[in-house]
Structure 1
Amino acid sequence: MPMTSPAGRPSSRAASVRARDARWRGALAVLEEMRREPGVTRAGVAQRLGLTTGSATEITARLRELGLLAETPAAASGRGRPTTVLHPHPDGPVVIAVDIRQEDWRIAVAALDGRPHVAEAGTHASREPGRVVTVIAEAVRRACERHGGRVRAVSVAVAATVRHGGVVQSAALGWDAVDLTGLVPDPRLPLLVGNDATLAGAAEARYGAAATAGTALHVTIEVGVGGTLVVDGRPVAGAAGAGGEFGHLPFGDPALRCPCGATGCWDLTVDGRAIARHLGEPPPRDPRSYAQAAVDRAARDAPARSAVGRAASAFGRGLAGLINAFDPDIVTLGGFAEPLRAAAAPEFGTALAGGLMRFRRPDPPPVVAAALGGDGALHGAAVTALDGVLTEEGLSAWAAGRAG
């Protein structure tokens, strides 16, 4: 119920709340355009948002004052009025994105345009959870010290199953439940944790090859298969956030037990472990590097070509099942998925077509390489963190901090 004065008119408090919200709505719309298209001009933003020149000037001036946006003159073009290019303010908010993979880790810093810039990286000397957390926490602390109060959140992409915002299991890292709260130096700083493949798919839907799709399926191969279904820009993560574990669908050999505890997982048929098994070699310590090396050998080595072809067939067949189930507009392939498809295109294509329902075969969804490549998880971690910063509450908190 709206607040009213005794005379029945809206109270001054209610009016001020509405005015504040309206102000932030315009600011948020401008910042979202800058985030969606880095290097966009003020005139371009005004046109897309239906703003008058005066309104656009007023909003951007306010954002400059708050340290959220900077403007530089745009290159002259034609006889129109000069305009400016919008950028994140050099002293504005940033988020820290962390990517924890099987063999290594990276941290990056992203401003309001959402583009992560890697600050530090390293290889795991040990996969023991406490050691991994300690090493990365030191790197996060150093980044926080460099950027001070500008850091608004830390967002982690991890090669693990994530439930209720916490790691519950990682076949890739050999972890069960692991507490990642030690990654942030200050408990008041928000910590967000997500599955790496899910976050990569979210980023691909925002900025990448699936940016125009209403329903996008992202599938990646690193150590096993991961991915997500993205609908209207949002990953379908399930009741507790653990959705998208495609690699643990029973598309594989039921005689094989997966490190996750289940049998017959698709994971075991498509990555470097499958290729090594087909070649009669021991399981590789790093399945991703092993698989890429096998692809490189396949051009000159018949056994390697056969092993890669078998893995590509298993991948195409399982992908057909996901397409049948989810009916996506587009499929994006991340990690080793695209090199595997390219290395054994005939085997992949035959298996994919054979697994599709008959009505889908004349017009299947396009299957394309992910545009963000190996940085998809970092982009996704930044996207998630900035979604929390770019809210009315987030901007109000930033403005209050500057005023203080």
Structure 2
Amino acid sequence: MASPRDRTRSARARDARWRGALAVLEEMRREPGVTRAAVARRLGLSTGSATEITARLRDLALLAETPAATAGRGRPTTVLTPHPDGPVVIAVDVRQGDWRCAVAALDGKPDIAETGTHRSRDPEDVIDTVAQAVRRLHHHYGERVRAVSVAIAATVQRGRVVQSAALDWGPVDLAALAVDPHVPLLIGNDATFAGLAEARQGVAAEAGTVLHVTVEVGVGGTLVVDGRPVDGATGAGGEFGHLPFGDPGLRCPCGARGCWDLMVDGRAIARHLGDPPPRDPRAYAEHALARAPADPAVRTAVGRTATGLARGLAGLINALDPAVVTLGGLAEPLRAAAEPEFNAAVADGLMRFRRPNPPPVVAAALGRDGALHGAAVTALDHFLTEDGLAAWAALRSPA
């Protein structure tokens, strides 16, 4: 029987074995199609080490190598891409009105496989429909599926949905989306996942501290520091829409009064126009934004709503000190439709020392696919560890 010291040495050897492999895979993930020579330079690997590691990863169906396009003389090199028979993750996005399921290889790019609209908002009906799609994908890909990751328009605490104002849900159990006891089910807020994707793959990929704010039904987002979302002690952080930046006379569906949510979406535009609360605030806001250039009353209502968004954004900048702010969902169209009001409200809300050099506020690059990308990023982070690769290697070489 091995001694504790021998077991420790064995674990260290295993970890060392996978450390270089993980570094190579991370480079491929960061830049799909990167050359083997470039990876070797970035990681300080010798040509022999790079060749040995990539050969091992190729044999394990973790990456593939194809000849790079030649540019004049010189030794030919190869580009690294996910192996066509390699591991995949399933990414799910459950939104207010619809859902999508996608599959992503190690490059993290979600390939949408199934979509649908909600026949009702009943949680059992929604979850059962999505679960069937997830099971179909798992049946197709089998043991290649290493994780299922779900982005949902809801507050998520300790990996469980506790409330969704957008879907009008209370606590909901998503365990039906688990396809196998050995395949982890990861659940996160959609705005948090979208912000993570922008910080890792999108317009803010070079920034260390990123504030992401998105407007759909209400406003959500996250602060991402060094590639990791700051989601609090229980995972329920980033609920920016429920900061008391709004009218305390208004009760939010979340149960609190004065939530910022009520000041930034189609419900706010409808109030400013004297219309009843819209059944679908996002669709109402899209229609209002399209009408605004030709209708002065709608343009004024949009301007007031953009001001409400900008004032809260200035408060978040003061509190969180981001290097970059990314705007997702309807936040960017709202800014564009009322840019003078938006810019003035941000400037007025910033502390004096910030005004000469405020953080850039830019449109999110991934659009409505941000949450799917973030779900894939989260699932791959979970898989790409020493233990994850060791389990995959055992699966590929059971002997």
* Other-structure match for 1:24: 18
Structure 2: gaps spanning 5 or more residues: none
Q: The residue matched to 1:198 in structure 2 has which SS?
A: helix
TM-superposition CA deviations, 1:295-344 (whole Å, max 9, x none): 11001011110110000000010000000000111100011100000110
* Other-structure match for 1:243: 237
Q: CA deviation at 1:186?
A: 2.2
d(CA) in 2 for partners of 1:126 and 1:187?
29
Aligned residue identity for 1:205: A
Q: CA deviation at 1:282?
A: 1.8
- The reply to whether residue 319 of structure 1 matches residue 313 of structure 2 is yes
* Other-structure match for 2:163: 169
- The reply to whether residue 189 of structure 1 matches residue 183 of structure 2 is yes
Aligned residue identity for 1:281: D
TM-superposition CA deviations, 1:332-383 (whole Å, max 9, x none): 0011100000110001011110000111111100000111111110011011
Task: Detail structure 1 runs of 4+ shifted over 6 Å in the superposition.
Answer: none
Q: How does 1:5-404 map to 2 (within 5 A)?
A: 11=6, 14-404=8-398
d(CA) in 1 for partners of 2:389 and 2:210?
30
TM-superposition CA deviations, 1:268-287 (whole Å, max 9, x none): 01101111111111222221
User: What is the count of residue pairs matched by the alignment?
Assistant: 397
Aligned residue identity for 1:87: T
TM-superposition CA deviations, 1:110-148 (whole Å, max 9, x none): 001111110001100101000000000000011111111
Q: The residue matched to 2:143 in structure 1 has which SS?
A: helix
Q: The residue matched to 2:294 in structure 1 has which SS?
A: coil
d(CA) in 2 for partners of 1:44 and 1:77?
15
d(CA) in 2 for partners of 1:283 and 1:64?
56
Structure 1: gaps spanning 5 or more residues: 5-9
TM-superposition CA deviations, 1:148-192 (whole Å, max 9, x none): 110011000000000010000000000000000101232332100
d(CA) in 2 for partners of 1:260 and 1:17?
47
d(CA) in 2 for partners of 1:269 and 1:15?
58
TM-superposition CA deviations, 1:235-282 (whole Å, max 9, x none): 000000000000000000110000000010000011011111111112
d(CA) in 2 for partners of 1:336 and 1:165?
27
TM-score in terms of structure 1 length: 0.96
Q: The residue matched to 1:299 in structure 2 has which SS?
A: helix
* Other-structure match for 1:7: none
Q: The residue matched to 1:85 in structure 2 has which SS?
A: strand
d(CA) in 2 for partners of 1:77 and 1:57?
21
Q: CA deviation at 1:37?
A: 0.5
TM-score in terms of structure 2 length: 0.97
Q: The residue matched to 1:192 in structure 2 has which SS?
A: strand
d(CA) in 2 for partners of 1:187 and 1:179?
16
Task: Determine what percentage of the aligned residue pairs are the same residue.
Answer: 75
d(CA) in 2 for partners of 1:17 and 1:266?
50
Q: CA deviation at 1:88?
A: 0.6
Aligned residue identity for 1:201: G
Aligned residue identity for 1:27: A
Aligned residue identity for 1:298: A
Aligned residue identity for 1:67: A
Q: CA deviation at 1:43?
A: 0.8
Q: Alignment RMSD, CA only?
A: 1.3
Q: CA deviation at 1:57?
A: 0.8
Q: CA deviation at 1:14?
A: 4.8
d(CA) in 1 for partners of 2:260 and 2:340?
20
Q: CA deviation at 1:210?
A: 1.4
